[in-house]
A and B are shown apart, each in its own frame.
Chain A
Amino acid sequence: MTIYLPIAELSVNIFVILGMGAAVGFLSGMFGVGGGFLITPLLIFYNIPPAVAVATGANQVVASSVSGALAHFRRGTLDIKLGLVLLVGGLAGATVGIQIFSMLRRLGQLDLIISLLYVVFLGSVGGLMLWESVNSLRRAANNKPVSLRKPGQHNWVHRLPFKMRFKRSKLYLSVIPVILLGFAIGILTSVMGVGGGFIMVPAMIYLLRIPTSVVIGTSLFQIIFVTAFTTVVQATTNYSVDIVLAWLLMVAGVIGAQYGVRVGQKMRGEQLRAGLALLVLAVGIRLGFGLVLPPDEIYSVVSGSFGF
């Protein structure tokens, strides 16, 4: 059964889209990530124009992060104050990112930069996570205690000025690295169509030393607003948010996520992180091959608005 996407201006198989949404929803529920980093590349593999894939991906992430953040809010594992500080940087970053996005589109290098960013970020984050989780798995096998956070241990981040107290996170931390982190993720949100959780979560844990328990809820909280903002700005500057495509992905994603969460709860933390790392790496490697292998067609044609 085909359905015509009014903004992407092409007909797609509705079951392929729903299947994609459900599969990504399942994985995002299982690993506690937004799934934007999977949705956008999948849409591009399925011939959705990259500009539409990125903008629609951001819209889809709004739904999955609302769903996730609400669950964390009920459990009290969400630091709203920390989230708001991240958000200040995030909104500024998203504004800059949209400008970069529009400029790359004019230059005809948008798809290259999107792929490159995915390869670099997915490759490095996936690699680091895999290395860390394999080490934890090894330690667990040797019956040594597993700890991510070493209390009392400080790095350069904790010597910066403008400190603020974050009660829920039990932290006294400078706002500079928090805003900078939000800013960087904001750029990625608008250029890559991702929530950025897969980068923000490790950065918050390892760099800012925020307790793991509040990290996911807080990152989801700020992702809601940055992706919502990105969606609105993409809609007004590039007209590239496809609401039909986004909604199909959301519905399938929200349902898929419920089953993912159940499977995720039966697994151990290190196993989950290793699984997520492998998934992230696989997507990165697939995109990397696309850049390096000789393409079937070295020419491309752009006509009208999103023809590339």
Chain B
Amino acid sequence: MRYAAFLFGVFLLAALPAAAQLVDPTVTINDKFSERIDIGISTNEIAITSDFSGADITVFGAIDGADELLLATFAYDVVVALEGPRKPTTVRRKERVAGIWINRHSIQFGPIPASYSMSSTRPLADIANLMELASRDIGINNIRLVPTGSIGDGSRLTEFRDALRRIKQVGGLYQRDPTGVQFISKALFRATVRLPANIPVGQHTVRAVLYKNSQFVMEKEIPLRVVKTGLEQFIYNFAHVYSLAYGIVAVLLATLTGWLGSVIFRKD
């Protein structure tokens, strides 16, 4: 049962001034080109409800000032990525010691996106060269993983990085869809990015990058907040802000449940 939240927001050029009030876009532009990319989502907040089991969000966008001929020959490529909040992350490696598998080595990485969901018009390798993609942190394999603290002799660093990416992908936190961005008319595109059920809450970023004939044209970012709602939010805040009261409530609830159980089912 997958609850899909389709958030529509078609931002045509005329609607753009209004959109600018909603979100605060961050823009990087390559001045060589005159084309511009714009994206929009209908909300800047995703709510996690108690039955949340993942969601799809749809990002709409347009290429402004696109050359008709180049559009027809698919010279433009778009990558849309939803990046989760950045968190310091530790990777640990188990080793067999006296017959038991225990965590022996660990490498800490500086803040990396806790989740990363990416869609593109084509596989990344066909869009631009590796150097270009890596310089902009585009793609699961290009997310910068900078170790902080001790890395030993450094010989294992690659293994640890690969393991981190693999585990994030297996757990659904890092995903990619090489055909997730589709042109719906000449200059208008739609991108679907998937939010996993275990999506971290916090400040996420929707990044859209435009390439023309493998050359970087422009990047635009808009923030997207993922929040717990209602009871979940209340419980989480309560547990963190009033932790003593929370603990006491947890105990009272348990006492009450246990007492009710013994009263309801009492036979003597």
Taking Cβ atoms with an 8 Å cutoff, the residues of A that contact B are 1-4, 6-7, 9-11, 59-60, 62-68, 70-71, 74, 108-109, 112, 116, 224, 228, 231-236, 239, 241, 243-244, 246-247, 250-251, 254-255, 257-258, 291-295, 297-304, 307-308
**Given A4-B232, A299-B167, 8 new contacts (CB under 8 A):** A59-B254, A116-B100, A228-B254, A236-B247, A243-B249, A292-B100, A298-B93, A308-B92
> Which residues on A sit within 8 Å (CB–CB) of B100?
112, 116, 291-292
The reply to whether A63 and B257 form a contact with Cβ atoms under 8 Å apart is yes
Judged by a CB distance under 8 angstroms, whether B53 is at the interface is yes
Q: How many angstroms between the C-alpha atoms of A258 and B264 in the bound complex?
A: 10
The reply to whether B91 and A247 form a contact with Cβ atoms under 8 Å apart is no
Q: Taking A65-B258, A243-B235 as contacts, is the C-beta distance between A299 and B51 under 8 angstroms?
A: no
The reply to whether A109 and B102 form a contact with Cβ atoms under 8 Å apart is yes
The reply to whether A66 and B250 form a contact with Cβ atoms under 8 Å apart is no
Closest-by-CB residue of B relative to A109 is: B103
The reply to whether A9 and B198 form a contact with Cβ atoms under 8 Å apart is yes
> Which residues on A sit within 8 Å (CB–CB) of B167?
297, 299-301
Question: How many A-B residue contacts, CB cutoff 8 Å?
Answer: 189
The reply to whether A304 and B261 form a contact with Cβ atoms under 8 Å apart is no
The reply to whether B255 and A62 form a contact with Cβ atoms under 8 Å apart is yes
Q: How many angstroms between the C-alpha atoms of A57 and B90 in the bound complex?
A: 26
Identify which of B49, B88, B261 contacts A303 (C-beta below 8 A).
B88
Judged by a CB distance under 8 angstroms, whether B207 is at the interface is no
The secondary structure that dominates the A interface is helix
In the complex, what's the smallest C-beta–C-beta distance from A217 to chain B, in angstroms? 13
The reply to whether A235 and B258 form a contact with Cβ atoms under 8 Å apart is no
Judged by a CB distance under 8 angstroms, whether B9 is at the interface is no
The reply to whether B259 and A67 form a contact with Cβ atoms under 8 Å apart is yes
The reply to whether B168 and A231 form a contact with Cβ atoms under 8 Å apart is no
| Interface hit among B31-39, B209-217, B237-245 | B237-245
Q: How many angstroms between the C-alpha atoms of A251 and B258 in the bound complex?
A: 8
Closest-by-CB residue of B relative to A255 is: B261
Q: Taking A70-B262, A112-B102, A298-B94 as contacts, is the C-beta distance between A6 and B239 under 8 angstroms?
A: yes
> Which residues on A sit within 8 Å (CB–CB) of B233?
6
Q: How many angstroms between the C-alpha atoms of A243 and B228 in the bound complex?
A: 16
The reply to whether B50 and A299 form a contact with Cβ atoms under 8 Å apart is no
A-B contact pairs, 18 of them (CB 8 A): A4-B48, A6-B231, A6-B235, A11-B197, A62-B254, A66-B254, A70-B258, A116-B100, A243-B235, A243-B246, A258-B261, A294-B96, A298-B93, A299-B91, A299-B93, A301-B89, A303-B87, A303-B88
Identify which of A67, A74, A235 contacts B250 (C-beta below 8 A).
A235
Q: How many angstroms between the C-alpha atoms of A302 and B88 in the bound complex?
A: 9
The reply to whether A60 and B262 form a contact with Cβ atoms under 8 Å apart is no
The reply to whether A233 and B103 form a contact with Cβ atoms under 8 Å apart is no
Judged by a CB distance under 8 angstroms, whether B7 is at the interface is no
Identify which of A2, A6, A231, A254 contacts B261 (C-beta below 8 A).
A254
Q: How many angstroms between the C-alpha atoms of A255 and B197 in the bound complex?
A: 30
The reply to whether A10 and B101 form a contact with Cβ atoms under 8 Å apart is no
Judged by a CB distance under 8 angstroms, whether B189 is at the interface is no
Q: Taking A70-B262, A303-B87, A303-B90 as contacts, is the C-beta distance between A239 and B254 under 8 angstroms?
A: no
The reply to whether B101 and A295 form a contact with Cβ atoms under 8 Å apart is yes
Q: How many angstroms between the C-alpha atoms of A301 and B170 in the bound complex?
A: 12
The reply to whether A295 and B94 form a contact with Cβ atoms under 8 Å apart is yes
In the complex, what's the smallest C-beta–C-beta distance from B199 to chain A, in angstroms? 9
The reply to whether A63 and B254 form a contact with Cβ atoms under 8 Å apart is yes
Judged by a CB distance under 8 angstroms, whether B114 is at the interface is yes
The reply to whether B258 and A302 form a contact with Cβ atoms under 8 Å apart is no
Identify which of B48, B101, B231 contacts A298 (C-beta below 8 A).
B101
Closest-by-CB residue of A relative to B97 is: A112
The reply to whether A302 and B90 form a contact with Cβ atoms under 8 Å apart is yes
> Which residues on B sit within 8 Å (CB–CB) of A255?
261
Closest-by-CB residue of A relative to B111 is: A303
